[in-house]
Structure 1
């Protein structure tokens, strides 16, 4: 798996899943070359782009509502020549409803942003996910990770939680500067 470095992405002012966290999250998504993938809360599009390159014979659906983030994602999709991506602009809950009506079935779903609708997004994602499919969720706050974990637990998913703390040196020094710790939650849908 070839991973794209943070420095290669167009950034803007929108949030981006940093390369170390992105590498772990993408790995936990169990992607194949023909996977159908969803990225909820695209931000800069770093997860979308990386998934597009791995699932190059598949399809990646990406949802974002913030206008500057949409523009940044579009620039990154163009820069990395991502031809297998559908970027939907607007509310995740409404777009997920559209996907459900269309009968879309997905292999993997990444939830990186929830607009305050985390439980609804998880419920709707469940309707789109194949049996034994994977949801990977990233959280900065303990509260949101707790809400997400409790929701998938109630729905009968198997899950594992990692708290990842990354520190990097500043310049040529040995001084380590820490990034925000991130909860990475991998959830596997069981057969019902």
Structure 2
């Protein structure tokens, strides 16, 4: 399987899930080629694009509220020929009722501070035994999500990933933000 490298994506100012975190997060979804996947808070679409390539016989829906991010995602969609990727512009909670699909996997990369409502609402669109993968930078948001998911009956596990890369002639290590990858299995 070919995983897309960071430098292959068209970039801009909106945030992008970095390569190592993207690969681990997608692996945690256990995707199959016919899966339906939802990406909430898709940013520049790096997760959506990669899922689209893996789920070549399935469907991917990406929700993003930022206009700049949507434009970059559309450019990446075209670049990687992702014909099974649908982009939806809007706040996750505002567009939720317009999405009638049921999903095998859901990725949540952004919540705009409404994590419990997003988990609850979109969790109703997750198939039984489906998986929800969430990425967090802050411990407080991780805790809120984990506590809520456990309360509503999901089985959770969390991994913290810290990636540093060598830069310059001297080989100085430059760290990316540590990221928490929360996996929630619907029982």
Identify whether the pair has TM-score above 0.5, normalized to the shorter chain.
Answer: yes
Shift of residue 172 of structure 1? 3.6
Give secondary structure in 2 for the equivalent of 1:186: strand
Match of 1:85 in 2: 85
Partner of 1:98 in structure 2? 98
- 2:85, 2:169 → 1: CA distance? 38
Equivalent of 2:168 in 146, 154, 171:
171
What is the match of residue 63 of structure 2? 63
Residue matched to 2:177: 180
SS of structure 2 residue aligned to 1:62: strand
1:146 aligned partner: 143
* Structure 1 runs, 4 residues or longer, greater than 4 Å off: none
**Count of aligned pairs between the two proteins:** 187
Distance in structure 2 (CA, Å) of the matches to 1:181 and 1:97: 33
Using the alignment, how far apart are the partners of 1:47 and 1:171 within structure 2?
28
Partner of 2:157: 160
Report the TM-score when normalising by structure 1: 0.95
Structure 1 counterpart SS, 2:13 = coil
**How large is the RMSD of aligned CA atoms in angstroms?**
0.8
Match for 1:116 among 88, 104, 113? Answer: 113
Deviations 1:115-151 (A, max 9, x none): 1111110001111000110000000000110111011
Cα distance in 2 between the residues matched to 1:172 and 1:57: 44
**Which whole-Å CA distance do the structure 2 matches of 1:52 and 1:126 have between them?**
21
Report the Cα offset of residue 156 of structure 1.
Answer: 0.6
Check if 1:129 corresponds to 2:114.
Answer: no
Q: Does the 8 A contact of 1:97 with 1:124 survive in 2?
A: no
TM-score with structure 2 length normalisation?
0.98
